[in-house]
Amino acid sequence: MNFKNQIYDALKYTLKDWKTIILLGIILCTSPTIIETETNYLLIAVLLSFVSFILTLFEEGYRYEIIKETIKGNNNPPSIENIKLLLKEGVYETIIIVIYWGIIFLLNKMAEYMNQLNIFNWPLWVVLSVISLIVYFLFFGAAVNKALHNDRFISALNFIEIGKFYLKIGVKRTVVLIIVGIISINFIEISVMGIGIHNFAKIIDLIINLTISPIMLLFMTRLTALIGREITYD
């Protein structure tokens, strides 16, 4: 399947199930609203944070199910009825995200520290910065590589396997996959962790979170999975 057909397939797939789009839209609207809700009661604050966390797990779990089912050859959006499974997958995906961003954060801090010591440490600073960038790029193939290896958690952290996966799909599609991943992350940050509907642009923000964000997330996730699915038929 060429890239043009993959884009068409991802768009058609995304618009198949409006119930899922609406549900994800509600989640993307609710999470930032809960985060921005202020309360003087600790118990209520903890409960609100817990609800927001559960919603995020559900969203991450569903995104992974799209990748997994697409790679298996399924052309229909996965069911949202198995909440337990989606939350379980969401936990795994969240742990993977934390591990990757933890490594990147640590490498960046080490690079900053080396940069502050003296000018003779610049080669090490460059090395640490490059490694951090490589880990960042490998992150976007983690979920696909995990799905390609029968849901093995360790495959999401196997940098060598992910590197081989990039080599198999080629430079062009690797670049596309990384760009798609970056765009997806930006949508998550804006919708779930960023601007809430309590800001000055309430109506615009609400529309974006309720419609555009879930559509883009589903589209980008499907497109990423289609790129990964190619090597299963080679």
How many residues belong to the chain?
Answer: 234
Please state, in angstroms and as integers, the Cα–Cα distance from residue 41 to each residue in 35, 45, 48, 165, 196, following that order.
14, 6, 11, 49, 21
Task: Provide the residue range defining the domain that includes 170.
Answer: 3-233
The two structure tokens encoding residue 165: 């996966």
At residue 32, does pLDDT exceed 50? Answer: yes
Please report how many Cα atoms fall inside a 13 Å half-sphere around the Cα of residue 171, on the Cβ side: 0
pLDDT of residue 15: 87
Mean pLDDT of 169-198: 68
pLDDT of residue 97: 92
Distance CA 141, CA 163 (A): 9
Three-class secondary structure of residue 18 per DSSP: helix
What are the φ and ψ backbone dihedral angles of 88, each rounded to 5 degrees?
Answer: -60, -45
At residue 99, does pLDDT exceed 90? Answer: yes
pLDDT of residue 208: 63
Query: Per-residue confidence at 66, pLDDT binned at 50, 70, 90?
Result: very high
Cβ atoms of 106 and 100 within 8 Å: the answer is no
- Express as a percent the part of the chain with pLDDT over 90: 25
Cβ atoms of 147 and 61 within 8 Å: the answer is no
What are the φ and ψ backbone dihedral angles of 37, each rounded to 5 degrees?
Answer: -70, 125
pLDDT of residue 104: 92
Decide which of 210 and 176 is more confident.
176
Cβ atoms of 10 and 230 within 8 Å: the answer is no
- What's the number of domains the chain is made of? 1
pLDDT of residue 197: 41
Where do we find the tokens 């799209």?
66
Q: Tell me the pTM.
A: 0.81
